[in-house]
Amino acid sequence: MSSEHEQQRSRLPSEHTEQPSDEPWADLELTLPHNRSPTGIVSFVECALVELTHEDVGAEFVSTSVAGVKRTQFIAVDAVGQRFKKRYFDERLGWHETTVSRKAVREELVNRLSRSSLGSDVGQHGVVDDQDKFQVMPVPEL
């Protein structure tokens, strides 16, 4: 009887992997500007940090400006989620990598997502040309 239950359980994940929205981190995406409250942003960032710690996923913040595209990626380095690899890409300077604390990641993401919620990314003519984006995705896709 337990083998039947194990067979059922083993089939369920394969059925779910066909639909990426079933992953717990799949909806951790935010296009900026947005209308989330400061408390909502903190909660969103905490959820992202939990997923980075427990799943094989990373977070990426992409911003576009006149100076070009900039990418900041965060990937958990240890199993307890206290240290993260921070990878930064600037079209002019290339890639830079460092290790940062969970607190630093949390503060940076809360600050970036809060600052953009004010609608300050509106272009010269009142149009948002390229929206900044934060998302959680599998590490190989970063």
* 10 pLDDT tier (thresholds 50, 70, 90): very low
pTM, full prediction: 0.74
| Whole-number Å distance between alpha carbons of 33 and 122 | 9
Name which of 46-50, 56-60, 76-80, 128-132 the model is least confident about. 128-132
Cα distances from 81 to residues 61, 106, 137, in angstroms, run 19, 11, 17
Closest to 49 measured CA to CA, from 86, 82, 21: 82
| Strand 83-90 with 94-101, pairing | antiparallel
Name the average pLDDT for the chain. Answer: 79
Residue 125 is predicted with a pLDDT of 42
Task: Provide mean pLDDT across the span 88-117.
Answer: 91
Contact 75, 142 (CB under 8 A): yes
Task: Provide mean pLDDT across the span 26-55.
Answer: 90
Q: Which residues of 47-78 are buried (b: 16+ CB within 10 A; e: fewer)?
A: ebbebbbeeebbbbbbbeeeeeebebbbbbee
Closest to 28 measured CA to CA, from 123, 118, 114, 133: 133
Q: Which residue is associated with the tokens 């639909």?
A: 19
Task: Provide mean pLDDT across the span 92-109.
Answer: 95
Tens of pLDDT, residue by residue over 13-39, are 444 444 445 787 777 899 888 889 999
* pLDDT above 90 for 57: yes
Angle between helices 102-116 and 38-54 (to 10 degrees): 140
Residue 134 is predicted with a pLDDT of 95
* 130 pLDDT tier (thresholds 50, 70, 90): low
| Whole-number Å distance between alpha carbons of 76 and 31 | 23
Task: Provide mean pLDDT across the span 124-140.
Answer: 74
